[in-house]
Amino acid sequence: MMTKNIRREDMSRAAIVHAILLTYTLVALYPIFLVIINAFKSRKGIFSAPMSLPNAETFSLEGFTKVLARSNFELFFFNSFTVTVVTIVIVLLLASMAAWALSEYKFPGNTWLALYLAVGIMVPIRLGSVSILNLIVELGLINTLTALILVYVAQGLPLAIFILTEFMHQIPKDLKEAARCDGVGEFKIFFAVILPLIRPAVATVAVFTMIPIWNDLWFPLILAPGDGKQTITLGIQQFIGQYVTDWNAVLASLSLAIIPILILYLIFSRQLIRGLTSGAVK
Amino acid sequence: MADLKLDQIRKSYGAVDVLHGIDLDVKDGEFVVFVGPSGCGKSTLLRIIAGLEDITGGDLMIGGDVVNTKSPRDRGIAMVFQSYALYPHMTVYKNMAFGLKLANHDKSAIDQRVREAARILQLDQLLDRRPSELSGGQRQRVAIGRAIVRQPKVFLFDEPLSNLDAALRVQTRIEIAKLHQELKSTIVYVTHDQVEAMTLADKIVVMNAGNVEQVGSPMQLYHHPQTRFVAGFIGSPAMNFTTVHIDAVEQGKVTVTVPGGAKAVLPFDVPANDVGKDVELGVRPEHLSLGENGDLSISGEVDVVEKLGDSTYLYLKLANGDRFTVRAPGHSRIKISETVNAAAEAGASHLFDANGKAYAKLECPAEYSADE
């Protein structure tokens, strides 16, 4: 009788938790759902019944054809993708190496350096937009993807270092010392022993880094607004006019923009799961 | 294979001295065990030999070369850790081959060495498994295999059996002993378990508070402990100690009064000016027998009785409150709160001065001596 009660209590608790999570998921997904259904409607359909699913009367691929025909959509995609992927690679490499140094080696100023890097998590990089713009102009990097990549690396590093340092602390000391006795050099210990072990953390950091970059409008707008260098979020702006907004095109391009980031996310999340199940040290 | 020499090795962490000048010679092919209570510095000493800790003072020589500042990988050592420290993302085979592969060894040579080590350790069937799919004993064998394939000059073991359950510990202990016979390699082994030390070692180094208390073969330490600490540490159950009063000294004999008032004449070389002092008498439980037949006789009230089947341990409370353990036959019918008399031969006793140093024993019957 007792156990039955406890089980029922557990069940109701689980139900409440799931209800909250489900609500949150719905709230988060509904706007995306709206964007996607409206992308497949005619202009008239969007305005007359924005909440309804496309039917035979309102269904139209008008937006997609317009986007693909009228703009450099592939180029915007390519720009966004390049910036995101290159940034992720650089952030992961630099952050994991910095985290390894901070967690493994004792040197003077270790704690201060870690704190200094952590401050970056709390100060939004956009506060420095003016000086960043000045700097980029002086470096002659205005209107280049390099400018965006540099800024995004700076933006992504603090949190990445913070998360990875915590994970590196969890790796047993014996494992590193065993590798040292085994004749493994420091670089090789890092790349062949440590990195594979913190793969779930690396995947987490990759996701954290990737999404704000892909969605960013601010820095592309001030640093690389020129022709041929726009990212996808900036490129879509051409359909938003002062007087007329081409909602078909905007919604269609937004729907398309979800796809690459979704693919990247799937790749990383699989790493995440694989990492967690790969068996721990005793 | 190589010999190992420690010359006045000191280690401090800031102002705290952990090791106070350790001297030790380990001959080629010798199995040396460092044993001592927690915090005595034995693991630190092993880590210094491995190169994982810096040396504060003194010299460390492996195979005649001073290796003080060399990194672990240039010392020709291999270490087995208590936590096994296997690479969790690699198979057993890769775990063993990893170090060799990085040292640019020929692929077929690596394969041969790994398979040979796997054969010795009976890991043949497990080469494709991950560490998470192995039992504790198997993991420890893989860790030993990883050491073997490196063909090191010196093997270092840091409490390798502490994470195993009792039955597996005995089995793995025997395997390590066999391994040493087969490889004839120099081994330094750290443990806090004196049974491991006694069964495995050619030479035991008993450490206490950063100092070496005594170095010797297991039987030397058992029969001729030089300090009270060694006497109490080696042997299970531990040696009994009680305070006795020195009455008289004559011609290599000393007369003492044991608690309860009985007198005993023991063969120790005690200086004449120690007469009248209180010193410490030690007798091992297995050297005591019930009854009055012995040079040394002591009585006490039975406090606790432990029946082990083959023998029975009686815990006596002596007249001065000290505890004495007596090993009685398994069929003993003695009950709690009986008063019994235990006796030992004079040659089985040990006598320690106020500083814990042993008085020289002048007469030692063969059964209480390490000489063969």
Residues A40-83: tens digit of each pLDDT: 888 888 888 888 888 888 888 888 888 888 767 888 889 999 99
Q: Which residues of B touch A278 (CB under 8 A)?
A: 88-89, 130, 132
> Are A177 and B103 within 8 A, CB to CB?
no
ipTM, two decimals, is 0.78
Q: Which of B78, B86, B99 sits opposite A281 (nearest CB)?
A: B86
Q: How far is A103 from chain B, CA to nearest CA, in Å? A: 17
Who contacts A178 (Cβ-Cβ below 8 Å, separation ≥6)? B79, B81, B85, B86, B143, B146
Classified as helix, coil or strand, B46 is helix
Residue A181 CA to residue B156 CA, distance in Å, equals 10
How would residue A249 be classed by pLDDT, with cut points 50, 70 and 90?
confident
Phi, psi torsion values for A173, nearest 5 degrees: -65, -35
Contact with chain A for residue B14, Cβ under 8 A:
no
Look at residue A274 in the predicted model and tell me its pLDDT: 58
Provide the pLDDT for residue A161.
Answer: 93
User: What pLDDT, on the 0 to 100 scale, is given for residue B293?
Assistant: 81
Which of the two residues, B259 and A9, has the higher pLDDT score?
B259
Residues of A in contact with B53 (CB under 8 A): none
Domain final residue, candidates B170, B200, B231: B231
Taking residue A58's Cβ as centre, other Cβ atoms within 10 Å add up to: 19
Stretch A237-264: mean pLDDT: 83
CB spacing of B79 vs A280 below 8 angstroms: no
Question: Mind telling me how many Å the CA of B68 is from chain A's nearest CA?
Answer: 15
At A27-48, the pLDDT tens digits run: 999 999 999 998 888 888 888 8
Residue B370 counted as domain residue: no
Query: Considering CB atoms only, which of B77, B87, B88 is closest to A181?
Result: B77
CB contact under 8 A, B85 and A188: no
Cβ–Cβ contact A282 with B under 8 A: yes
Nearest to B83 by CA among B31, B151, B155, B157: B157
Give which of B234, B193, B228 is closest to B216, Cα–Cα. B234
Interchain proximity A177–B133, CB inside 8 Å: no
Question: What pLDDT is attached to residue A250?
Answer: 86
pLDDT at A277 over 50: no
Calculate how close chain A gets to B17, using CA atoms only, in Å: 20
Decide if pLDDT at A119 tops 80: yes
Q: Does residue B226 share a domain with residue B191?
A: yes
Helix or strand (DSSP H, E) at B212: strand B211-216
**In this structure, are B244 and B227 located in the same domain?**
no
Chain A, 192 to 211: residues with Cβ < 8 Å from chain B are 192-193, 196-197
Residue B87 sits at the chain A interface (C-beta within 8 Å): yes
Instruction: Note whether residue B208 is domain-resident.
Output: yes
pLDDT bin (cut points 50, 70, 90) of residue A147 is very high
Domain boundary assignment for chain A: 2-48, 63-276
| Domain final residue pick, B211, B231, B251 | B231
Same domain, B327 and B273: yes
Domain boundary at B208, B231, B254, which? B231
pLDDT of residue A10: 83
Measured CA to CA, the distance from residue A47 to residue A57 in angstroms comes to 14
With H, G, I as helix, E, B as strand and everything else as coil, classify residue A15: helix
Please check the confidence at residue A281 and state whether its pLDDT lies above 60.
no
Q: Do B76 and B220 fall into the same domain?
A: yes
Q: Which domain holds residue B68?
A: 4-231
- Smallest CA–CA separation between A191 and chain B, in Å? 12
Topology at the third CATH level for domain A63-276 = MetI-like fold (1.10.3720)
In the prediction, which pLDDT does B31 show?
95
Give the pLDDT score at A146: 94
Which residues of B, range 91-150, sit inside 8 Å of A by Cβ? 98-99, 102-103, 130-133, 136, 139, 143, 146, 150
Contact A184/B at CB under 8 A? yes
Residue B245 lies in a domain: yes
Give the torsion sign (CA, B106, B75, B199, B166): negative
Sheet holding B350-352, edge to edge: B263-266, B253-257, B240-250, B278-283, B350-352
Cβ distance B179 to B200 under 8 Å?
no
**CATH assignment at residue B180:** 3.40.50.300
Tokens of A209: 């880094």
- β-pairing, B203-208 with B57-62? unpaired
* Cβ–Cβ < 8 Å for B323, B303: yes
What residues of B are in contact with residue A180 (Cβ under 8 Å)? Answer: 51-52, 71-73
DSSP state of A49: -
- How large is the average pLDDT for residues A192-203? 88
Q: Is A188 on the interface with B (CB under 8 A)?
A: yes
- Here the CATH number for the domain that contains residue B327 is 2.40.50.140
CB-based contact B163 A178, cutoff 8 Å: no
The predicted structure's pLDDT at residue A248? 85
Alpha helices by DSSP H, chain B: 42-50, 92-102, 107-120, 136-148, 166-183, 194-200, 218-223, 228-233
Rounded Cα–Cα distance for residues A112 and A96 (Å): 18
Name the residue among B89, B103, B136 with its Cβ closest to that of A197: B89
* Cα of B41 to nearest chain A Cα, Å: 18
Instruction: Tell me the nearest-neighbour CA distance from B98 into chain A, angstroms.
Output: 8
Indicate if the pLDDT at residue A4 is higher than 70: no
**CA of A87 to nearest chain B CA: how many angstroms apart?**
27
Q: Do B131 and A172 touch (CB under 8 A)?
A: no
Contacts of A185 in chain B (CB under 8 A): 73, 102
Is the per-residue pLDDT at A279 higher than 50? no
Q: How high does pLDDT run on average in chain A?
A: 86
Closest CA to B274 of B357, B345, B339: B357
Structural domain includes residue B371: no
* Residues of B with Cβ-Cβ distance to A276 under 8 angstroms: none
The residues of chain B scoring below 50 in pLDDT are none
Do the chains contact at A182 and B99, CB–CB below 8 Å? yes
Structurally, chain B folds into a number of domains equal to 2
Written as six digits, the tokens of A240 are: 């938003």
CB contacts of A187 in chain B (<8 Å) are none
Are B85 and A174 an interchain contact pair (Cβ–Cβ within 8 Å)?
yes
| Smallest Cα distance from A164 to chain B, Å | 18
Residues in chain B with CB shorter than 8 Å from the CB of A274 are none
CB–CB contact A181 B103 (8 Å): no
Task: State whether B111 and B182 are in the same domain.
Answer: yes
Q: Does A181 touch chain B (CB under 8 A)?
A: yes
Scanning every residue of chain A, which has its alpha carbon at the shortest distance from the alpha carbon of B89? Answer: A278
pLDDT of residue A282: 39
Chain-chain contact of B84 with A279 (C-beta, under 8 angstroms): no
Residue A5 confidence (pLDDT): 66
Tell me: do B226 and B278 sit in the same domain: no
Cα–Cα distance measured from residue B299 to residue A246, given in angstroms and rounded to the nearest whole number: 106
Best of B77, B132, B151 to mutate (most A CBs within 10 Å, chain A): B132
Q: Does the pLDDT value for residue A242 go beyond 80? A: no
Chain A residues inside the 8 Å CB shell of B139: 282
CB contact under 8 A, A182 and B98: yes
Dist. CA B123–CA B116, nearest whole Å: 10
Distance from CA of B30 to the nearest CA of A (A): 21
